[in-house]
């Protein structure tokens, strides 16, 4: 099979790219996805999101035991099927703040990755409740819903508590300014999850003669000659294409490159893979957000289950005080349920609630490595969580902010008493609690980071350095985390890349 363009991975970025790049009837595009079509009805129910992990459409990874997390190893869900991790995610749509993208522009020297540069892509993607105001998109493929009265009364009290401390009231997190209180914006339409496959791979798109979709097809390696990819080896045979885009996600895109002989020489040698191209930082720079789960409270009255996705309102702020402005450093979220890590007893639903807390721009960096040439050889995932003093200090500040909000009079009607962390007197006590309480916020990224420096894995055009016809377009290329969840930014990267291809055709 021969195509003009092959996209590996039909997840969040890949589904969008397949739709946009097959608009031109003259370009033959193949989208190759390891998993199948999502059929489980639970995917559509927003409240089910924490319960649908470990099913057959989850790659179901685990990290190595983490010294920063009291030796715990975390489960990392990743979607396997059309829609990718948008089948599993917690539905929050957070673009990031202006300063986040100033960091991206600085890292790449490319104004396309600034807030202003990305704004046309965000606008094109979204069909937002507030759409048409010049800031939020209207009529795009992905619904973004900013709930009003549908937010739980507990989350409303949480928002009032933050406002009582001087935090600004925001209308959603997507204006470039994130410090303040607001309900979360959600990728939900008429009460249902919308995956990127549903949003972009519509029946009309699938009917195009220019698009071939291969599901249940695992790409096992790239074949390389000099500085070109000549083809893809897949579980269903060989596929050839002039241009290749990897959208297999922050774990599988670098892993596929490593299995094909591209990467850090010592990693390839240890895995028994001959090195074709040494790229020392490939698989490095692994980033993720953690959330402390949680600052737990026994409730004075029944906490009705969330009608949304459980953590209904995230409040971003600076560590030095509730009225400080700029780029957020910490976050406190309202969990409308007793959310805890596996290290603590979880009270019965309805009897307790959790304030989640975390650091927006952790400086800890990890890595992923292959252990052998086959996709069946397990990946080593080593995030090195909380390995910097900066991250441990800011996590303590985030816990402090959660407890200050949790103790506010606006929450008196809900709070019976604090259950966790319980008595903590010293920084060492707080660190020990955080190490046991933290869970992943599910944002692995950065393993093929884009940049203008010599060590960057991908160029500001998302081309893999050293290979002429290969781009990486997914969460791997983030040069730095955005303050909040990263899905919207991944979509904006894909849309911006697609525009570049379409304009230069």
Ligand X SMILES: Cc1cc2nc3c(=O)[nH]c(=O)nc-3n(C[C@H](O)[C@H](O)[C@H](O)COP(=O)(O)OP(=O)(O)OC[C@H]3O[C@@H](n4cnc5c(N)ncnc54)[C@H](O)[C@@H]3O)c2cc1C
Residue ranges that bind ligand X, judged by CB under 6 A: 8-14, 32-35, 77-81, 84-86, 88-92, 94, 218-219, 247-250, 252, 256, 442-443, 474-475, 485-488, 490
- Select 419 or 439, whichever has its Cβ closest to ligand X: 439
- Select 96 or 406, whichever has its Cβ closest to ligand X: 96
- Select 396 or 487, whichever has its Cβ closest to ligand X: 487
| Shortest distance, position 423 Cβ to ligand X, whole Å | 32
Start-to-end CA distance of the chain, whole Å, equals 22
- Confirm if 11 and 474 have CB atoms less than 8 A apart: yes
Quote the tokens at residue 130: 């507030």
**443 given a catalytic annotation:** yes
- Select 9 or 421, whichever has its Cβ closest to ligand X: 9
- Rounded distance, CA 103 to CA 115, Å? 10
**Environment class of residue 25 by beta-carbon count within 10 Å: exposed (0-12), middle (13-18) or buried (19+)?**
exposed
Q: Give just the sign of the alpha carbon dihedral 86, 92, 98, 104.
A: negative
> Which residue sits closest to ligand X, CB atoms considered?
11
| Shortest distance, position 331 Cβ to ligand X, whole Å | 13
Q: Is 61 helix (H, G, I), strand (E, B) or coil?
A: strand
- Select 8 or 299, whichever has its Cβ closest to ligand X: 8
Quote the tokens at residue 457: 């894995």
- Select 430 or 440, whichever has its Cβ closest to ligand X: 440
| Shortest distance, position 144 Cβ to ligand X, whole Å | 11
- Confirm if 326 and 179 have CB atoms less than 8 A apart: yes
Quote the tokens at residue 475: 């969460």
Q: Which of 128, 441, 442, 443 is catalytic?
A: 443
| Shortest distance, position 83 Cβ to ligand X, whole Å | 7
- Select 174 or 433, whichever has its Cβ closest to ligand X: 174
Q: Which residues contact 210 (CB under 8 A, 6 or more apart)?
A: 22, 23, 24, 25, 26, 27, 28, 29
| Shortest distance, position 254 Cβ to ligand X, whole Å | 11
Ranges of beta strands (E only) in 119-218 are 126-128, 142-144, 188-189, 192-193, 211-214
- Rounded distance, CA 303 to CA 353, Å? 8
- Select 69 or 411, whichever has its Cβ closest to ligand X: 69
Which of the 8 DSSP states describes residue 276?
A: S
| Shortest distance, position 462 Cβ to ligand X, whole Å | 12
- CB count within 10 Å of CB 267 equals 22
| Shortest distance, position 345 Cβ to ligand X, whole Å | 23
DSSP-assigned letters across all residues of 462-503: -BBTT-TTEEE-SGGG-SS--SS-SHHHHHHHHHHHHHHHHH
Distances (CA, A) of 28 to 91, 138, 180, 204, 469: 32, 29, 46, 16, 16
**What is the β-pairing status of strands 2-8 and 29-32?**
parallel
- Rounded distance, CA 492 to CA 474, Å? 10
Up-side HSE of residue 339: CA atoms within 13 Å toward CB? 26
Give catalytic residues, as residue numbers. 443
């Amino acid at each position: 099979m021969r195509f003009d363009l092959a996209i590996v991975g039909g997840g969040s970025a890949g589904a969008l790219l397949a739709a946009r790049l097959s608009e031109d009837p003259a370009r033959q595009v193949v989208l190759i996805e390891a998993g199948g079509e999502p059929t489980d009805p639970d995917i559509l129910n927003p409240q089910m999101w924490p319960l649908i992990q470990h099913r057959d459409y989850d790659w179901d990874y685990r990290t190595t035991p983490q010294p920063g997390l009291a030796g715990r190893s975390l489960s990392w869900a990743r979607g396997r099927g059309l829609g990718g991790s948008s089948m599993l995610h917690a539905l929050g749509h957070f673009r990031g703040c202006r300063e986040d993208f100033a960091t991206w522009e600085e890292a790449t020297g490319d104004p396309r990755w600034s807030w202003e540069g990305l704004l046309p892509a965000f606008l094109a993607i979204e069909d937002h409740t507030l759409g048409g105001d010049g800031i939020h998109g209207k009529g795009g493929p992905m619904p973004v819903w900013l709930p009003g009265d549908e937010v739980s009364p507990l989350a409303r009290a949480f928002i009032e508590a933050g406002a009582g401390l001087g935090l600004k009231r925001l209308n959603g997190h997507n204006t470039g300014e994130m410090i303040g209180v607001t309900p979360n914006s959600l990728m939900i339409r008429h009460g249902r999850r919308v995956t990127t496959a549903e949003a972009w791979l519509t029946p009309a798109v699938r009917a195009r003669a220019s698009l071939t979709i291969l599901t249940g097809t695992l790409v096992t390696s790239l074949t390389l000659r000099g500085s070109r990819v000549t083809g893809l080896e897949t579980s269903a045979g060989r596929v050839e294409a002039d241009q290749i885009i990897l959208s297999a996600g922050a774990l599988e895109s670098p892993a596929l490159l490593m299995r094909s002989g591209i990467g850090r020489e010592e990693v390839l040698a240890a895995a028994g893979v001959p090195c074709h191209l040494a790229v020392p930082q490939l698989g490095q720079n692994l980033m993720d957000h953690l959330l402390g789960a949680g600052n737990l409270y026994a409730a004075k009255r029944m906490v009705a289950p969330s009608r949304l996705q459980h953590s209904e309102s995230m409040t971003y702020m600076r560590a030095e005080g509730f009225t400080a402005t700029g780029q957020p450093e910490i976050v406190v979220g309202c969990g409308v349920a007793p959310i805890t890590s596996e290290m603590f007893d979880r009270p019965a639903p309805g009897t307790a609630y959790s304030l989640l807390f975390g650091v927006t721009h952790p400086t800890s960096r990890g890595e992923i490595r292959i252990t052998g040439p086959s996709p069946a050889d397990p990946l080593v995932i080593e995030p090195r969580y909380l390995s910097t003093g900066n991250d441990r200090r800011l996590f303590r500040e985030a816990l402090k902010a959660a407890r200050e909000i949790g103790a506010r009079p606006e929450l008196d009607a809900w709070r019976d008493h604090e259950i966790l962390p319980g008595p903590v007197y010293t920084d060492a006590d707080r660190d020990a609690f955080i190490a046991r309480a933290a869970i992943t916020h599910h944002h692995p990224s950065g393993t093929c980071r884009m940049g203008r420096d010599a060590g960057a894995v991908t160029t500001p055009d998302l081309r893999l350095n050293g290979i002429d016809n290969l781009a990486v377009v997914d969460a791997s290329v983030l040069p730095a985390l955005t303050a909040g969840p990263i899905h919207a930014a991944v979509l904006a990267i894909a849309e911006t890349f697609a525009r570049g291809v379409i304009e230069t055709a």
